[in-house]
Amino acid sequence: MTDAFVAAALPVPPVHAHRPKPASVLILGSGPVVIGQAAEFDYAGTQACRALRAEGVRTILVNSNPATIMTDPSVADAVYLEPLTVPAIEAVIAREKPEGLLAGLGGQTALNLAMELSKAGVLERHNVRLLGTPLEAIRMAEDREAFRDLLDRIGQPYAPSSIVEGADDEARHASARVALETIGLPAIIRPAFTLGGTGGGIVETEEAYWERVRAGLRSSPIKQVMIERCLVGWQEIEYEVMRDAEDTCIAVCSMENVDPLGVHTGDSIVVAPVQTLTDAVHQRLRSASLAIIRALGVEGGCNVQFALSPDSTEYAVIEVNPRVSRSSALASKATGYPIARVAAQIAAGRTLADIPNVVTGTTVAAFEPALDYVVVKLPRFPFDKFPGADRRLGSQMKATGEVMAIDRTFGAALNKALRGLEQAGAGPMGEDPSWAPTFAYLAAVYAGIDAEEGGAGFDGLPAEDAPIRWTDAGGQACESSRFAQRSAAPIVLKRFLEPSDSRLWRVLGLLRRGVPQEVVRRATGISAWFLAEMGRNVALESDVRAMGPRLVDPEDADGAALLATVKRAAFSDRDLASLAGMQEAAVRGARQALGIVPGFAMVDTCAAEFAAETPYFYSTYASSGSPAEAPPVARPAALVIGSGPVRIGQGIEFDYCAVQAADVLRRNGWSAVMVNSNPETVSTDFDASTRLYFEPLDTESVRSIIEFESAGFRNPDGTIAMLPAVVAFGGQTPLNLAAPLVAAGVPLLGSDLEAIDQAEERTRFSALLDRLGIPQPEGGMAESIEEALTLAERIGYPVIVRPSFVIGGLAIDFAYSPDDLVRHLAAAAVVDPDRPVRIDRFLEGIEVDIDAVSDGRDVLIPGLLEHVERAGVHSGDSIGVFPPQHVAEGDQSLIVSTMQRVCLALGAKGLVNAQFIVRDDGVYLIEVNPRASRTVPFMSKVTGVPMVELAVRISLGETLASMGWEDGLRPVPPFVSVKSPAFSTAKLKGVDPSVGPFMQSTGEVIGIAVDPRVAMAKALTGASLIPPRAGDGVAPLVLLSVADRDKWGVPDLGRALVRAGYRLAATGGTRATLEAAGITGIAHVAKLGAEPVGDEVGILELIASGEVRLVVNTPTPRSGAVRDAADIRHATIAEGILCFTSIETGIAASEALDPSIFDEIAVVRSITDWVPGVAAAS
Amino acid sequence: MRLPPLPRADAIVDPRVGDAGPALLALEDGTVFPGIAFGSPVAAGGDLVVNTSQTGYQEIATDPSYAGQVVVMTYPLIGNYGRLEDDDQSERPWLRGLVVAHATAAVLDDARQLATLLRGNGIPAIAGVDTRALARHLRTTGCQRGIITAPGVTDPAIAIAMARDVPRWEDQDFVAQVSPAAPREVGDGDAPLVAIVDFGLKANIVRSLRRRGVRVRVLPHTATAEEVLAGDVAGVVLSPGPGDPARLAGPVALARAIIEDGRPLLGICLGHQVVGRAAGAETSRLRFGHHGANHPVQDLDTGYVQVTAQNHEVQVVGESLPASSGFRVSQLNLNDRSVEGLRHVEKPIETVQYHPEGAPGPLDALAVFDRFADACRRNA
């Protein structure tokens, strides 16, 4: 060989130290679900554990989140449900002695923790090797300055930026001043090392600049913020890349954000693969991504984000995440390539070339997936729960979840994603009625003008001073030819289209009214190509409207062609029916008669180049009539319906149940078909079921799947043997589908429709309880506000109000007075005979949550969960304690026996959840749901009762007795488990954090210990609901301002805080209560709005002083929309101070601060140590 | 169940592209796909090849290696972005026809639409085909001839007969069609001179070499060994191109002479196959060809794996390479273990089956040009 030729030439792989496969690996989870860190890490961590175990590596998992699949004892060799803190992790390391630590699969939380563990010397002390992402890469990707140096070294461009940092506030202020001068406005503020862009944002004014910089410095753990030039209007492009230790690099997926730069990618509409880039530009960005992952030295997955100038001539690197991420979960589901799994295998020492491609079964992981479809992801926002929140979008992520859809065109995938959002009014044609006047005005100005010519468009206006006509907010017809009236249009347009959760629908609405795409493009920066495709969808709507009944006329060729066309564009039968003015069944019947049914295509990573073994499918009318890619799954089989996008109130706990249900079916010899639309979850992993359909969870989509999967199967009587559906494990989403599916002839596995209906329909449910003699809160239906007032008067205030039609308010709220009731109903709801309101007595007392498994004869009850907060706080936001600490034996027995009677009366077969209120005057049943509840994963793990397994097997014909389980309550374990909610409220500007009747929390954590206070401390620590401790002569300040009705708890609260070493500050009445209880030395605080008198400090000044570590502020009860003292809580949140709004939470947390239990918090045990049978059971 | 009605033409051919009416894609095995014509309003046929690239239709259309072939794109939206003249790989499009699921439009003037390029060069195209279903079908049957009928010709029997009449790919001499008639030189000064024998050269090969500081002399495929190995030539590139190397006795003899000469030689794609045959190896047709931007190739000397762009029907049969040839297999395709490169054990000769110049596709393997240019400089 001529050395000169070959040696010079071949890229020499870097020399690596010998990397033996670690015998054991500690995997860090990401803790509770919060905005910016959701189910994607359950998916990533679960894949990683399974991959490592398959490699023969012993896996040890730490995560404080009980709702996850990853913390199921069957997923890892040892599972620790412990807080993600340095002391707890060190204790786990000391106990388990892992060789390696894998932090790249637990999001920013795990990466930050790995940095802390390293800094604290823990890794060195215990000889633990960090696998995957090197510490240096974490540092370089997050430390803005180091990252820019790296980019300079490899010649990659970035937006001009300036770092704000310094030793103290003064230095940081000076640094911020310099940054403002060099970068200018508008600018993007990016705090270092924060989740989901916490504290960041785009600022346009100097005032906003200083506010954001201050907030950013506060939220950054290293007190560093980057000020970056805002590349407004540039496109945002992302690449998911992987690298192994041999330096093989691949780009798994390219993604293009429909929203231009400025909106957090988690809040953006994202399309995969890139749509509007030439190959040359795409390759340039792809090559840049590979150069970056090489320079960082990441071993595993990495996400690189670019800004691309609108004419594609220039780009800038925006951000790098050297770990798996939300985007990598999306990329995995979009391509079929299991990024987290491969990342874990790389960490275990394998190379991309020797890892098989599990999807094709014949090729290797060292390749790049080829897509033959388009993927659209839409974010799911929580604003339906927070009508008062600031709904504008920026660099702070606000979405709680996302929905993904697959089809052959962008328009069809977009329509499917819109159908999959499962949000009222969020379909393809959703429009907020309040936009009507703006639509009318903008259409009057812009519709029909030629934006390209004549100087019209975003900046210009129609050249002639012709009159414009529109309808104003009051419904009055308006006409104007005044120049001033029309010259406001560009401002109105820009304001109307500024980035917000509803911009997509606003854009569609304007296009629908003939506003030129070019006008919208200039106002939004959305690429012309995307707007053109949206315009095509909108044009189809009007074609259908014009076609009318001809759409379903079998003899009308134009109608049939249009029907075939709009189905290809993925319009639902229901929407088509409403456009064409007919019943949904007519559309369905017509298209079926014409053979317009969806085909199902495979997601195979290779665009059909190789035969694939994957069981992953999507529907598309573009392959209507093409040969099927696979026959229906083998019978017996059932369809498990998942829970759709993660939203407040329906989170990953339901994914846990759906995944378990599919698993149990398979272990019992059934085929499990899964349908879901959420790319972040374990349930949409290709190996979580026998076959996966990635589809919107609407009746039409689910029916199509069932029909396809039922072809060729016959009942003995010759009818089609429809694939049965499992609706009990995905939360409310599948339950809502139960009735239409049954009506379509689909059998349900588990509780029948009758049981569901009897529990769900309040009047029937009430009657059932009356018949059984079970006490329930008094209540009734009202068909007018007057009736509601009379009813409320009769049953007595406070009452719970549940309107059946809500406008801008919340579905459920309390009313403490007639004023409250009127305000709520008049402002937020419609009440008439068709849309009655339900009024129930609001009972205060101890709330108890109970889950049961019923087989129709026996009812097994794993345990009771007592809520810490008094009834009135949504059960999802309450701290739960198992077993109950304050409920008398007799009351517990009564709850159990009542639960058993209700389950049997409903004829429930499977899981049933209920809520009781325990009061001095009796035990009341509030609510029953014959389905898996939020608490199922938690209760299953702490009791060792495999609830989902038992429920599924019962639906397959087994009984509790035949499975070896007894009727009644399980023995109480010798330890206490606490479930705490975790909140994302700080990320949602304008949201009052006070807990109430509507759920606000996004996730949950667990704490387990023998001492209830230790369990509480662990749980609150995991949920970031524990204030910084006192110690080393530091006595932090706690501010108390408690409403009169909560004063009973003030002495306990004060004593506990003083014992924990805190100083107290309190407003007048609260201080008096404390002093009366013998607590002294309390700083005087003036009430909100009152002038400080004497030695009093103003309350907002005190909060802003930086001394306060905790605020306990309980609001005077009023209906949710208008709560008192919200300013105090907003100020508290703005300062990053912990705030409790329930006295019970305050007391429980304060008791958990007791210094005498401090050391016990870092004592760890695995879940199988606590519950020996739990692994075997599942 | 009857076949569903066809959707409206504007659902599969963007109105800005403009459709030419219904047409058929017929395969020699009798399979027929109805669709909408949108290219030149003529019929044309050839071997169907399936390309899985998600971007790069312009480069594919202008790649001479597709001469005589009807290209099926699995990516369902073709036409999203506008054509840039700089990205053309040759003077004109060479493929015989284009089959897509949806003909989309770039939001630009007509001149830059893909359809305009096809129409200007007499190339038909058909949209509305479930190209995934077609790819699956071809995967099972192997290569087939197919025809895109002229607009309005919708009788399946006629179309199938036409498909069966299409001349066989292996019976045709495509290189002669695409290779230039006269030599040309690019660059001046005293940089090392590289002779490229043009069997169907792509612009990005010339560009990649020029970026590495060499001059380029492009020669027709009929160039003699004397012309190729002129005294001022520091190294030789045998270019990619269309067709079956088994027909190319002349180029194979030329390759033998270059190997004998011992000057640096780089064979790319067809050039690689020609060198393989010159070294005494057999070539054989792949069942389905490799056409895409995502093929993993491992270098057997370094273990290094790279993602490559591929476009070929024929492979060098590794087992048939004589041990005495002085060559050994240097790179392998990790998907099917087919030969992706040869290296001479003594001489500065390397060949690659893939396209290090990308266009379309990854540029991960540009080091192939670095190695060659370095060798030329040492030899100059």
DSSP line for A44-60: HHHHHHHHHHHTT-EEE
Is residue A676's pLDDT more than 80? yes
Confidence at A65, pLDDT banded by 50, 70, 90: very high
For the cut 50, the answer to whether the pLDDT of residue A1045 exceeds it is yes
* pLDDT for the residue numbered A83: 95
Cβ–Cβ below 8 Å for A5 and B264: yes
User: Chain A residue with minimal CA distance to B305?
Assistant: A248
| A825/A831 Cα distance (integer angstroms) | 7
Residue written as tokens 């359909």?
Answer: A693
> Which spans in A832-978 are helix H?
889-906, 936-943, 947-955
Contact A279 B101 (CB under 8 A): no
Q: How confident is the model at residue A196 (pLDDT cuts 50, 70, 90)?
A: low
* Position with higher pLDDT, B342 vs A171: B342
Handedness of CA A1048, A1053, A1059, A1062 (dihedral sign): negative
DSSP secondary structure string for all residues of A113-133: HHHHHHHTTHHHHTT-EEESS
Size of interface A-B (CB pairs under 8 A): 237
Instruction: Note the pLDDT of residue A466.
Output: 61
Subunit contact A623:B4, Cβ cutoff 8 A? no
Active site residues of A: 144, 190, 223, 236, 264, 303, 305, 319, 321, 323, 802, 808-809, 847, 915, 927, 929, 934
Grade residue A11 by pLDDT with cuts at 50, 70 and 90: very low
Asked if the C-beta of A350 comes within 8 angstroms of chain B's C-beta atoms, the answer is no
Q: Tell whether the model's pLDDT for residue A1 goes beyond 90.
A: no
Cα of A273 to nearest chain B Cα, Å: 8
Residue A1174 has pLDDT above 90, yes or no: no
Helix (H) / strand (E) containing A442: helix A436-446
Q: Would the pLDDT of B225 be above 70? A: yes
A55-59, A514-518, A810-814, B61-65: range with lowest mean pLDDT = A810-814
Taking CB atoms and an 8 Å cutoff, what residues of chain B touch A626? 130, 132-133
**3-class SS at B301?**
coil
Nearest CB to B130; choose among A279, A527, A623: A623
How does residue A197 score in pLDDT terms, banded at 50, 70 and 90?
A: low
For A531-550, the pLDDT digits (tens) are 999 999 999 999 999 999 99
H helices of chain B, in order, are 9-12, 57-61, 114-119, 131-141, 156-165, 174-178, 203-211, 225-228, 249-261, 270-278, 367-379
pLDDT digits (tens, 9 = 90+) for B350-363: 999 999 999 999 99
Q: Which residues of B touch A367 (CB under 8 A)?
A: 294-296, 307, 334-335
Q: Which residue of B has its CA nearest to A598?
A: B4
Confidence band of A1121 (pLDDT split at 50, 70, 90): very low
How far CA B218 is from CA of A578, B187, B191, B227, B234, in Å, comes to 65, 11, 15, 11, 14
When comparing pLDDT for A669 and A1127, which is higher?
Answer: A669
pLDDT band with cut points at 50, 70 and 90 for residue A613 = confident
Q: Report the distance separating Cα A44 and Cα A109, nearest Å.
A: 14
pLDDT in tens, A348-390: 999 999 899 888 888 889 999 999 999 999 999 998 888 778 9
Confidence label for A12 from pLDDT (cuts 50, 70 and 90) = very low
| pLDDT greater at residue A19 or residue A491 | A491
Is residue B290 part of the annotated active site? The answer reads: no
Please report, in angstroms and rounded to a whole number, the separation of the first and last CA atoms in chain A.
60
**Rounded Cα gap, residues B270 and B298, in angstroms:** 19
Average pLDDT of chain A to the nearest whole number: 90
> What pLDDT is recorded for position A911?
96
Residue A448 has pLDDT above 60, yes or no: yes
Q: What share of chain A is helix, strand, coil (3-state, %, to 5)?
A: 40, 20, 40
Residue A1178, pLDDT above cutoff 50: no
Per-residue pLDDT reduced to its tens digit, A1049-1084: 999 999 999 999 999 999 989 999 999 999 999 999
Q: Is the pLDDT of residue A566 over 80?
A: yes
Return the H-helix or E-strand segment holding A647.
Answer: none
Distance of CA A704 to the CA centre of its chain: 27
**Chain A contact present for B374, CB below 8 A:** yes
- Kindly state the DSSP code that residue A872 receives in the 8-state scheme: T
Residue numbers of B between 63 and 122 with CB closer than 8 Å to A: 74-77, 80-82, 84, 87, 101-102, 105-107
Tokens of A33: 């679900």
- Cis bond leading into A186, ω under 30°? yes
**Contact residues, B window 281-310, toward A, CB-based 8 Å cutoff:** 288, 292-296, 298-299, 301-307
- Determine phi and psi for A766, rounding to 5 degrees: -60, -45
- Provide mean pLDDT across the span A168-186: 89
- Range among A755-759, A864-868, A1082-1086 with highest mean pLDDT value: A864-868
> Is residue A731 scored above 60 in pLDDT?
yes
- Say if CB A654 and CB A730 are below 8 A apart: yes
Q: Which one, of A734, A445, A530, lies nearest residue B77 by Cα?
A: A530
Beta bridge partners of A34: A37
- Cβ of A372 within 8 Å of Cβ of B52? The answer is yes
Residue B247 banded pLDDT, cuts 50, 70, 90: very high
Give residue-wise pLDDT tens across range A259-310: 998 899 999 999 999 999 999 999 999 999 999 999 999 999 999 999 999 8
Q: What is the pTM of this model?
A: 0.94
Per-residue pLDDT, A13: 41
User: Does residue A16 surpass a pLDDT of 50?
Assistant: no
pLDDT of residue A568: 97
The tens digit of pLDDT for each residue in B87-128 reads 999 999 999 999 999 999 988 788 889 999 999 999 999 999
Q: Which residue has the tokens 């799954």?
A: A633
Q: What share of chain B is helix, strand, coil (3-state, %, to 5)?
A: 30, 30, 40
Of B10, B52, B364, the CB nearest to A606: B52
- Three-state DSSP string of A262-330: CCCHHHCCEEECCCCCCHHHHHHHHHHHHHHHHHHCCCEEEEEEEEECCCCCCEEEEEEECCCCHHHHH
- What pLDDT was estimated at residue A833? 81
**All residues at 6 or more sequence positions from B380 whose CB lies less than 8 Å from its CB, including other chains:** B192, B193, B234
Which phi and psi angles does A320 have, rounded to 5°? -130, 135
Question: pLDDT tens across A986-1007, in order?
Answer: 888 778 888 877 889 999 999 9
Which amino acid type is present at position A520? V
What pLDDT sits at residue A144?
77
Tell me the pLDDT band of A435, cut-offs 50, 70 and 90. very high
Catalytic-residue membership of B357: yes
A911, β-bridge pairs: A853
B58 neighbourhood in chain A, CB within 8 Å: 278-279
